[in-house]
Structures are given as C-alpha cells and as structure tokens.
Amino acid sequence: MQAFHLYLDSADLADLKTCLPHPAVHGITTNPTLLRRAGVTRDKLPELLHNAIKLGAKQVQAQVHAADTDGILADAQALVRQFNPGQLVIKIPATRDGLRAGAELSEAGTPVTYTAVYAPEQAHFAGQLGAAYAAPYLGRLEDSGVDGLALIGQMQSLLAG
C-alpha cells in the first residue's frame, strides 16, 4: 500500500495543541497566508515548526516566500539547516522557477512539496523532478469550474504510470 499522510493545515499553535499528538496525523503544513492569519512572522516560523514537532508532528512543511530560483533556494536552505533530516519538507509553488529550485533541492536530498498544482503537466514534472509530494488544491479547482476530483485522479494516474 502506498503511504498516505494526513497533515494539519494550520499555523495556529492553539489549534496544533488541540490536535497533536494524534496517531492519524503525520504532521503540519503551513503557507504564508496561514502564517499571516496566525500572526507568525517569518523569523518566528522555525519556532512554530519546532513546537509542532515537540507536540508530536512527525514532519512539518513550510513554504518559501521568494518567487525566483535563487530566492527560493536561499529561503529553503535557511530553514533546512535548522531541522534534522526528514523533519522538514520545503513547499514550493509549481512555477518555472519553483520547479528549477525544487529539482536542485530534491537532488541534494531535501524533500519538496510542489504547491498550486493545477495541471497534469505540473504533477508530471513534480514526479519527474523527485518531489516528495504534489499539492493540488481541490477547493480552488472546483471554484474555477473544473471537476477537481477527476483532474486529481488524472494527475494520480500520470504519477502511478
């Protein structure tokens, strides 16, 4: 059976304390919008992630702030050096620069999640470039009038084949 991991999508420490530890929850995932809503500044992000691990998260995911390749790599490397191998997954938008930076990180052994995966080609590239995860957003796909479940099924078939 392929691994399936459930992540809490939150940057709110009170929420994390309510939900962790839990045997079904593998970890947490955050993004700049969630961090902003929770009042977590960029320099406080590592503290939040370490707190999640102390609460029982096996893995944490954090998104880079930069959009260009060099900036993405700098953001990622600043975070990665603060965690043990495998504890942190770097989230990167599935853009041209993101794919370029993610490929370099994956090659170096840093787990990567490509976010904002809205097309089968993006999922294919994520798989080809060694991503740990690809994250399509079902709600956003559905809101745009796309049959999100069917599209995600197509993406999954591409990756499985």
The pLDDT score that the predictor gives to residue 55 is 96
Taking residues 59-63, what's their average pLDDT? 96
Q: Is the pTM of this model over 0.95?
A: no
> Cβ(45)–Cβ(30) under 8 Å?
yes
Scan for tokens 């503290």, then name that residue: 47
Q: Which residue has the higher pLDDT, 88 or 155?
A: 88
As a whole number of angstroms, the distance between CA 133 and CA 89 comes to 9
The DSSP secondary-structure symbol of 161 reads -
> Cβ(106)–Cβ(129) under 8 Å?
yes
pLDDT above 90 (res 47): yes
Domain boundaries, the chain: 6-160
Architecture in CATH for domain 6-160:
Alpha-Beta Barrel (3.20)
Instruction: Calculate what percentage of the chain has a pLDDT beyond 70.
Output: 98
DSSP assignment string, 51-110: HHHHHT-SEEEEE-S--SHHHHHHHHHHHHTTS-TTTEEEEEESSHHHHHHHHHHHHTT-
pLDDT grade for 1, boundaries at 50, 70 and 90: very low
pLDDT above 70 (res 59): yes
pLDDT above 80 (res 3): no
Beta-carbon contacts of residue 76 (< 8 Å; ≥ 6 apart): 64, 90, 92, 101, 105, 110
Other C-beta atoms within 10 Å of 120: how many? Answer: 17
pLDDT grade for 157, boundaries at 50, 70 and 90: confident
How does pLDDT run across 87-104, given as a tens digit for each residue? Answer: 999 999 999 999 999 999
Hey, which residues are catalytic here? 91
Other C-beta atoms within 10 Å of 70: how many? Answer: 11
How does pLDDT run across 119-150, given as a tens digit for each residue? Answer: 899 999 998 999 998 888 888 888 888 888 88
As a whole number of angstroms, the distance between CA 99 and CA 115 comes to 10
> Cβ(73)–Cβ(105) under 8 Å?
yes
